[in-house]
Amino acid sequence: MKHQLSGVLIYGAGGHGKVVADIVERQAQYRIVGFVDDNSQLWGKELLGYKVLGGLPILVSQGLARHPIVIAIGDNRARKRLVLELTAIGCTFTSVIHPSAQIASNVQVGLGAMVMANVAINPDAKIGAHVIVNTGAVVEHDCVIHDFVHISPAAVLAGNVVVKEGSHIGMGCSILPGVQIGAYSIVGAGAVVTKNIAAEVTAVGIPAKPLNMFE
């Protein structure tokens, strides 16, 4: 008799949700029960052949909270808010890792993290909870990526980089060894970060500087 896979829900029925669904299928560790999304215009529709079941209330009303959830929402603050709401009603979470990702054996990957295709994460790196490491990103040795960070496609973090909670690292960024990115900061696409970035700033350019320094 074929073993029945445990169910999983994907919260977020957008483009990011599609990517997560593809990873779940490729991992073959869960079966996708469906999508959950708070946009009522999506309810009842299908995404990659899976139904959008409804919004947050159905997790309780239909007993779906028994299934682990992956939160497929790219906005870091929104993802954190949703984790807090779902935790309060007893939901649990799981991580998804694309089979093509190259992850060293001693890397720590936090609960609810999403590691996309062709990512490389090297020895002694630490990936926090509900972090997104997007397609083709490189996280070098001894990096520390705190909770709710989003590392965009093709970003490269050299060794010993620290990215504090909730920061967004833009597409194609390069961050030099030992640099620290403060909490809830944004590093613009293609930037080269040579020095520490403070919390809650947007930094762009080569070398990267806070936007207010360009005024």
Looking at the 3D structure of the chain, how many domains does it have? 2
Say how many Å lie between the first and final Cα of the chain, rounded: 67
pLDDT above 60: residue 41: yes
Question: Which H or E element spans position 24?
Answer: helix 15-27
Residue 105 lies in a domain: yes
pLDDT digits (tens, 9 = 90+) for 76-127: 999 999 999 999 999 999 999 999 999 999 999 999 999 999 999 999 999 9
Residue 212 lies in a domain: no
In the listed set 94, 120, 154, which residue is the last one of a domain according to the structure? 94
Nearest to 183 by CA among 162, 154, 156, 204: 162
Residue 184 lies in a domain: yes
Specify whether 98 is catalytic. Answer: no
- Global pTM exceeds 0.85: yes
Query: What domain range includes position 139?
Result: 97-207
pLDDT above 50: residue 1: no
The DSSP result for 134-156, as a single string, is: -TT-EE-TT-EE-TT-EE-TT-E
Q: One of 141, 146, 150, 168 is an active-site residue; which one?
A: 141
In the listed set 94, 120, 136, which residue is the last one of a domain according to the structure? 94
What pLDDT is recorded for position 208?
Answer: 95
In the listed set 75, 94, 113, which residue is the last one of a domain according to the structure? 94
CATH of the domain at 182: 2.160.10.10
pLDDT digits (tens, 9 = 90+) for 136-189: 999 999 999 999 999 999 999 999 999 999 999 999 999 999 999 999 999 999
